[in-house]
């Protein structure tokens, strides 16, 4: 019996050494440690043996059993480890490989310019506000001293919307962001310091300097004691920050129905530096915005007492600014969706 057990132990161990997967391991377990295994058989038959032999065989059989169980456990662990190592090897990640590029979008150059301008005015204490693009005739024109038949309407070719209220009040696509100023005057109690960026629309054919949809930003300040000096100081500071320290700026008289007096601001030509060239029509100056002291009737109409409060306003086109800065000669490029153009910004 002892001899049999010894042989069994040796054979089982040798087989175990050659096993390389979990399935084989399980069949080994059934064969050597299972209920029908030789070892279990021997243990079961112990009772039939004479006492002396029973003790010796029993002790050794148990020893063999424990030994085989331990070996099985060890082999199982070794196999699992080897398997893990093999799959890690298969899924090996080469961290030196260059990554796959995700295409990253960017802001449109007009959006970038608007952000830049809003940042400058925010840092001067202005709040950024927005208004509707589909607007009542009232806020785009009437409230701003541009009644029906006023010639200023002709200068802003209007796209009318096929919609009006029951009593026949027409709507349009706003032709300037000054419409937002009309709304703010009516709805915000002074002191007011706002800038109003957004899209505006004019019924015009496209060419190198015109598109039917473009962008403007208007500004409005209403407070006690606001004067033309505030207007000039604010806009000089804007010019200094946007166009640079050394770029000269000048104001000249101009007319807009909603301001009195009205001015235009021009900066030294970015191409010729003031000497005169094709871009500036040989004047050396490039007009960038309109401004003025808000007309007392405009304040009054919006419910602000012009005897207590005074106000200045300004408005400028956005597209021209990056055009001047980067020497872009066709405004349509901004809206052609040509990535070769847009990726440059
Ligand atoms: N709304 C004018 C335009 O589109 C620009 C403008 C001029 C706005 C003077 C203003 C202003 O607020 O005070 O041509």
Give per-residue pLDDT as tens, 149-164: 898 888 889 999 987 7
pLDDT reading at 54 higher than 90: no
The CB of 220 under 6 Å from ligand 1? The reply is no
The CB of 313 under 6 Å from ligand 1? The reply is yes
Partnered with residue 262 across adjacent β-strands are 254, 292
CA 202–ligand 1 middle distance (angstroms)? 14
Instruction: Note whether residue 99 is domain-resident.
Output: no
Instruction: Note whether residue 100 is domain-resident.
Output: no
What per-residue confidence (pLDDT) applies to 177? 98
CA 178–ligand 1 middle distance (angstroms)? 6
Of residues 40 and 299, which shows the higher confidence score? 299
CA 144–ligand 1 middle distance (angstroms)? 10
Closest ligand 1 atom to Cα of 292 = 13
Instruction: Note whether residue 98 is domain-resident.
Output: no
The CB of 214 under 6 Å from ligand 1? The reply is no
Q: How many domains does the chain contain in total? A: 2
63: pLDDT confidence band, cut at 50, 70 and 90? confident
Of residues 11 and 118, which shows the higher confidence score? 118
84 and 120 inside one domain:
no
95: pLDDT confidence band, cut at 50, 70 and 90? confident
**Which CATH number characterizes residue 194's domain?**
3.30.930.10
When pLDDT is averaged across residues 255-277 and rounded to a whole number, the result is 93
152 and 72 inside one domain:
no
Instruction: Note whether residue 102 is domain-resident.
Output: no
Token duo for residue 155: 């200068």
Query: Mean pLDDT, the chain, as a whole number?
Result: 92
Calculate the dihedral angle through the C-alpha atoms of 334, 337, 338, 344, rounding to the nearest 10 degrees.
Answer: 50
Q: What is d(CA 10, CA 5) in angstroms, rounded to the nearest whole number? A: 9
What per-residue confidence (pLDDT) applies to 106? 92
Instruction: Note whether residue 97 is domain-resident.
Output: no
The CB of 299 under 6 Å from ligand 1? The reply is no
42 and 116 inside one domain:
no
Percent of the chain with pLDDT over 90: 60
Output the residue whose Cα is nearest ligand 1's atom 12.
Answer: 314
67 and 143 inside one domain:
no
170 and 26 inside one domain:
no
Q: In which domain, by residue range, is 63 found?
A: 2-90
pLDDT reading at 239 higher than 90: yes
275: pLDDT confidence band, cut at 50, 70 and 90? very high
Which of 184, 291, 318 should be mutated for ligand 1, with most atoms under 8 A from CB?
291
List Cβ neighbours of 5 (8 Å cut-off, separation of 6 or more).
39, 42, 57, 60, 61, 64
Of residues 128 and 83, which shows the higher confidence score? 128
The CB of 176 under 6 Å from ligand 1? The reply is yes
Domain finish residue from 61, 90, 119: 90
206 and 323 inside one domain:
yes
Token duo for residue 180: 């937002």
312: pLDDT confidence band, cut at 50, 70 and 90? very high
Percent of the chain with pLDDT over 70: 100
Helical spans, DSSP H, in the chain: 2-17, 22-33, 38-45, 51-90, 109-123, 137-140, 152-155, 178-187, 228-243, 296-301, 320-326, 339-342
Q: What is d(CA 18, CA 13) in angstroms, rounded to the nearest whole number? A: 9
CB 57 within 8 A of CB 46: yes
Count the Cβ atoms, other than its own, within 10 Å of residue 194.
19
239 and 281 inside one domain:
yes
When pLDDT is averaged across residues 245-266 and rounded to a whole number, the result is 96
Domain finish residue from 62, 90, 118: 90
What per-residue confidence (pLDDT) applies to 113? 97
pLDDT reading at 166 higher than 80: no
Output the residue whose Cα is nearest ligand 1's atom 4.
Answer: 176
77 and 126 inside one domain:
no
CA 218–ligand 1 middle distance (angstroms)? 7
321 and 189 inside one domain:
yes
185 and 320 inside one domain:
yes
159 and 81 inside one domain:
no
The CB of 196 under 6 Å from ligand 1? The reply is no
Domain finish residue from 63, 90, 117: 90
CA 337 from chain centre, in angstroms, equals 19
pLDDT reading at 216 higher than 80: yes
When pLDDT is averaged across residues 39-65 and rounded to a whole number, the result is 85
């Amino acid at each position: 019996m002892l001899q049999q057990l010894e042989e069994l132990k040796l054979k089982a161990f040798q087989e175990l050494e050659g096993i390389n997967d979990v399935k084989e391991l399980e069949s080994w377990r059934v064969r050597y440690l299972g209920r029908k295994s030789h070892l279990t058989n021997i243990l079961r038959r112990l009772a039939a043996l004479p006492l002396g032999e029973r003790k010796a065989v029993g002790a050794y059989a148990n020893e063999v059993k424990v030994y085989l169980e331990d070996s099985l456990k060890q082999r199982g662990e070794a196999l699992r480890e080897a398997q893990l190592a093999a799959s890690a090897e298969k899924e090996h990640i080469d961290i030196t490989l260059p990554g796959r590029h995700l295409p990253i979008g960017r802001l449109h150059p007009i959006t970038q310019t608007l952000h830049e301008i809003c940042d400058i005015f925010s840092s001067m204490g202005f709040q950024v506000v927005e208004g509707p693009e589909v607007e009542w005739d009232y806020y785009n024109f009437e409230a701003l001293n541009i009644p029906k038949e006023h010639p200023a309407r002709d200068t802003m070719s209007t796209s009318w919307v096929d919609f009006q209220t029951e009593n026949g009040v027409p709507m349009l696509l706003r032709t300037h962001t000054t419409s937002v100023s009309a709304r703010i005057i009516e709805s915000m109690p002074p002191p007011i310091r706002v800038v109003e960026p957004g899209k505006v629309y004019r019924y015009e054919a496209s060419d190198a300097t015109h598109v039917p949809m473009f962008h403007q930003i208007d500004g409005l300040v209403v407070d006690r004691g606001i004067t033309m000096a505030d207007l000039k100081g604010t806009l000089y500071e804007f010019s200094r920050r946007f166009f640079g320290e050394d770029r000269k700026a000048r104001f000249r008289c101009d007319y807009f129905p909603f301001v009195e007096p009205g001015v235009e601001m021009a900066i030294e030509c970015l191409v010729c530096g003031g000497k005169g060239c094709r871009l500036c029509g040989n004047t050396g100056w490039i007009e960038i915005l309109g401004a003025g002291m808000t007309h007392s009737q405009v304040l009054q109409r919006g419910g602000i007492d012009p005897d207590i409060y005074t106000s200045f306003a300004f408005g400028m086109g956005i597209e021209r600014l990056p055009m001047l800065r980067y020497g872009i000669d066709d405004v349509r490029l901004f809206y052609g969706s040509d990535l070769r153009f847009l990726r440059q910004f």
